[in-house]
Structure 1
Amino acid sequence: MRARQTHTPTRAPRIGRRGFLTAGIAAAGLGLAGCGSGAATSSGRARLRQWNLFTGGDGARLMEMHEAFREEHPEIQLEDTTFMWGDPFYTKFVMGAAGGRAFDIATVHLSRLRGLGTGTLISPVPRDLLAEHGITEDTVPTTVWDKCLVDGELYAIPLDTHLVVTYYNRRICERAGVLEGDGTLVETNGEEELIDLLTEVKEATGQYGIVMETTGAWRQFWSLYRQLGGEMTFDGELVIDDDKALRCLDFLRRVSEEGLAPRASDAPGTPANFQNEIAGLMFGGNWELPTLRDAGMDFGMRPFPAVFGDPLGQGDSHAFVLPYRRTPDREAENAAVAYAAWMLRNSLTWAGGGHTPAYLPVTGSEDYQELEPQAGYREAAENVQFDPQAWFSGSAAQLQSDANSVFQAVHTGATTPEVALDRFKSAAQRLIDTPPPV
């Protein structure tokens, strides 16, 4: 896993479906054989077991928030456990949820919600209880809140939004003449305006205009595809707009072929290349903010550019979920909801890592508006584009992995957009034809 943040670490080997099912069945068996809830402790305090996937800077920030929560809630014994990001976490999650005794609240990616067993491994969130703590659909962006609903039931409590945005080096961009008077990057509309801007920045660096993670090309592709209004569904067969998909892939080909961006740049190398000033701009997740700030860079951030339409960017949300319980445990449920609501209300601390809090009273506060550069891309969170819905889609899921593997070859010039699209469609159909493990 990448030490600096938690979103695009080195992947552990993907667990096979048989292993996934075997592990889940074994865990379920242990859960059936086990004793009851461990919500109450010998001291009379409510026990709250929290699972998460945050390490690096996010992990340190989470621990800071947890210590503050403990100080304010002596009646709750918070026990937090961190697992490795990606497949290891989600495998452990399914095993624990199947057993019914592993956690009282867990943090997941909202894009993975429907594939994690809503109604079977995950329980609905009691809206009335959540409202008592000040969290309702009016306090969260509609785009994010709607993703927490499955068949009208609320199954998650969103903590943040994290998505691909545009970083710009102020020193280089000033030299290129592409800054406004207030030091912000000039806004572009359309492909040609962006190409012109990248060309000017390239002339200022003598190398490239922009760097982006070519091994994570799905983020750029999905952002562009959604700007074109592209839809993608997996109901028995893949439905995708070939013309729109090819237009997006051709843009990725063009920026690399014209020397505006490196043909190859991996997850750790992309922010490093930006720090080394081989380019003045970078497409990257907003979680890269602390790394660049620690490097002492003078940089700004704005939403992903409007290349083919509105400035939409691919992203996701960290959200809290409750486990399904064969025997209801109201004390554990009350403690879990109180914890989640507290985390939302105090998410200004969480914003320090680059994530945009989901709780609107925080992002609308004066304190947040004074955060720089976070306030510069706040509106991007309202336009976040979640991955298409499927059990194999979302953060750390196989669809992203397959797309990245295929699409990066367009950047390198090893294949054409047409061939890459055909390969992606074949990979997606194989996933559609595979029965879901949960």
Structure 2
Amino acid sequence: MGQPGLNRRQLLAAAGGLTVAGSFGFAALGTGADALASGSQTRVRYWNLFSGGDGYNMIAMLDAFREENPGIDVKDSTLQWGSPFYTKLAMAAAGNRAPDLGVMHLGRVTGFSPGRLLDPWDVDLLAKYGVREADFNPELWKRAVIDGKLYALPLDIHVQLCFYRKDVLKKAGLLGDDGRMVPVTSTEEWFDVLKEAKKATKKGLQTLGLHANDQNFMWWFFVAFYTQLGGTYFNDAKTEVTFDTDKAVQVLEFLRRHVTDGYCVAGAADGEQFINGAPFTWEGNWSVPVFSGAKLDYGATPLPPVFGKQATHAESHSFVLPHQSDRGGATDDGAHRLAAYVVKHARQWAAGGHIPAYTPTLSTAAYKKLSPQNEYVSAMDHQATEPKVWFAGSTGILAQRVGPIVVSSTMGSAKPEAAARRMKGTLTQLLAMKNPMDGKTAAQGGTAA
């Protein structure tokens, strides 16, 4: 494997900061160093970041693959989620230790120096194993393509949802004849819904779980509603900031109103309150197993289109090929076969709340029976995503810099107008920054689809 020419300090800074330099420990499900499994001819080393319920679902899919493909010995390792994972993956790709297959959030791929730390997928080989571009949402596939090459194979999208208690909403007269929450198409309609729901809510519980003081959730919600307004961040060439402060103020005022009108309590245990009877909470789809496990009578819909356009924040777990100078042969074939298999057999993955990226899965009878997944599957066609720049993506620099500004407005320590100006100023600074991975600004980097 080759040396992409990045030093340790560059890698640490780019993958999450020097503060995580010592956070390389991980819980190995397979060490990748022992002998091949009996009857196997090829080993595929696979790194992922899935723990909890997602981890169990992934293990089940890997076990099914092993049973059907005894000639391939899959050595899977689960690493710590977040910056430590990306740091270790980057250093492995630069230091002759890269696994054969990995997982990344799609929003982070652009900043991971595709072509230097990531190798492109062989689309013909994927097609051999039954995975083609036509099987995916066009916009999702487009996000995975950089400089004309596919650098990520989407496994899912995970979205922010409006979870609601059917028992409380029925009492408030907010359930339709279909047993689902009444549709909302404006901010005033939404606050009317909250007003009625609050009347039916038990004392001591908030009306809506908003994660008002969480920088990640606040940023994700901002992205959703700003997209509903048609807001943009940069021009196509990534040379100018196009951030619309007037539209940003509308979103910030909307988020802030939930606090000032008394519908949410900052710092409350939002998920726990929902389980105990709060009518609404905005959470990621990964909360589906939690609420289903609690035996709640609930539903989940994409975030309400209060600004007239459907859009809810979305990210994607995607398979990637960490750089290997000698990539090819049976091992690379095995990595393609494994990734294609998991993508095509994501019915179990959907049980964790994620929406499978492989669209044929969505039309199966088994998927259509999943509840509440069948209620929010439309989010696949209405994704609100971060801009395609090197500093974006889950746990990325963009969220770390802009998220706290959104929180300051929601919590009332900054006026929405001032917060919007700060957001635009921060975006301007980030656009001028160079990616530590390759020393290029967003305008200079390979981000063209």
Residue identity matched to 1:411: T
In structure 2, what is the equivalent of residue 370 of structure 1?
Answer: 369
* Distance in 1 between residues matched to 2:310 and 2:175, nearest whole Å: 18
Distance verdict in 2 for CA 1:82–1:38, change over 3 Å: closer
Report if aligned partners of 1:264, 1:412 keep a CA contact under 8 Å in 2: no
* Distance in 2 between residues matched to 1:341 and 1:428, nearest whole Å: 37
In structure 1, what is the equivalent of residue 296 of structure 2?
Answer: 297
Secondary structure of the structure 1 residue equivalent to 2:110: helix
Superposed counterparts of 1:39-78, under 5 Å: 41=36, 45-78=41-74
Distance verdict in 2 for CA 1:18–1:209, change over 3 Å: closer
Residue identity matched to 1:232: Y
CA shift at 1:23, angstroms?
11
Deviations 1:16-54 (A, max 9, x none): 459969999xx9xxxxxxxxx999959661110001011
CA shift at 1:237, angstroms?
5.3
Report if aligned partners of 1:263, 1:411 keep a CA contact under 8 Å in 2: no
In structure 1, what is the equivalent of residue 176 of structure 2?
Answer: 180
Secondary structure of the structure 1 residue equivalent to 2:43: strand
77, 81, 91: which one aligns with 1:81: 77
* Distance in 2 between residues matched to 1:258 and 1:314, nearest whole Å: 24
CA shift at 1:264, angstroms?
3.8
* Distance in 2 between residues matched to 1:41 and 1:354, nearest whole Å: 34
Report if aligned partners of 2:16, 2:83 keep a CA contact under 8 Å in 1: no
* Distance in 1 between residues matched to 2:363 and 2:20, nearest whole Å: 44
In structure 1, what is the equivalent of residue 219 of structure 2?
Answer: 218
Task: Give the aligned length.
Answer: 410
- Say whether 1:121 aligns with 2:122: no
Secondary structure of the structure 2 residue equivalent to 1:80: strand
* Distance in 2 between residues matched to 1:403 and 1:213, nearest whole Å: 16
Deviations 1:35-83 (A, max 9, x none): xx99995966111000101111111111111111111111001000111
Deviations 1:366-395 (A, max 9, x none): 100001111110111221112112221111
Q: Which has the higher helix share?
A: 1
Distance verdict in 2 for CA 1:209–1:369, change over 3 Å: same
Distance verdict in 2 for CA 1:144–1:306, change over 3 Å: same
Secondary structure of the structure 1 residue equivalent to 2:351: helix
In structure 1, what is the equivalent of residue 261 of structure 2?
Answer: 258
In structure 2, what is the equivalent of residue 352 of structure 1?
Answer: 351
Report if aligned partners of 2:245, 2:417 keep a CA contact under 8 Å in 1: no
In structure 1, what is the equivalent of residue 442 of structure 2?
Answer: none
In structure 2, what is the equivalent of residue 276 of structure 1?
Answer: 276
* Distance in 2 between residues matched to 1:402 and 1:19, nearest whole Å: 13
- Say whether 1:208 aligns with 2:209: no
* Distance in 1 between residues matched to 2:360 and 2:95, nearest whole Å: 37
In structure 2, what is the equivalent of residue 397 of structure 1?
Answer: 396
Residue identity matched to 1:229: G
Residue identity matched to 1:209: T
157, 160, 167: which one aligns with 1:161: 157
Once the two structures are overlaid, the 10-residue window that deviates more, 229-238 or 65-74, is 229-238
Deviations 1:202-225 (A, max 9, x none): 111155332112212011111000
Distance verdict in 2 for CA 1:75–1:92, change over 3 Å: same
In structure 1, what is the equivalent of residue 230 of structure 2?
Answer: 229
Residue identity matched to 1:419: A
192, 195, 204: which one aligns with 1:199: 195
CA shift at 1:298, angstroms?
1.2
Secondary structure of the structure 2 residue equivalent to 1:403: helix
Q: Over aligned residues, Cα RMSD in angstroms?
A: 2.5
Identity of aligned residues (%): 36
TM-score (norm 2): 0.86
Distance verdict in 2 for CA 1:263–1:331, change over 3 Å: same
CA shift at 1:155, angstroms?
1.1
Distance verdict in 2 for CA 1:238–1:367, change over 3 Å: same
Report if aligned partners of 2:66, 2:72 keep a CA contact under 8 Å in 1: yes
Residue identity matched to 2:276: N
In structure 2, what is the equivalent of residue 248 of structure 1?
Answer: 251
Deviations 1:404-433 (A, max 9, x none): 212112222222112222333343344334
* Distance in 1 between residues matched to 2:331 and 2:210, nearest whole Å: 44
Distance verdict in 2 for CA 1:286–1:324, change over 3 Å: same
CA shift at 1:336, angstroms?
0.6
In structure 2, what is the equivalent of residue 8 of structure 1?
Answer: none
In structure 1, what is the equivalent of residue 29 of structure 2?
Answer: none
Report if aligned partners of 2:120, 2:151 keep a CA contact under 8 Å in 1: yes
* Distance in 1 between residues matched to 2:20 and 2:409, nearest whole Å: 38
* Distance in 2 between residues matched to 1:131 and 1:21, nearest whole Å: 40
CA shift at 1:331, angstroms?
1.3
Distance verdict in 2 for CA 1:38–1:55, change over 3 Å: closer
68, 92, 96: which one aligns with 2:92: 96
* Distance in 1 between residues matched to 2:92 and 2:20, nearest whole Å: 10
CA shift at 1:149, angstroms?
0.8
TM-score (norm 1): 0.88
Report if aligned partners of 2:12, 2:18 keep a CA contact under 8 Å in 1: no
Residue identity matched to 1:310: K
Residue identity matched to 1:71: E
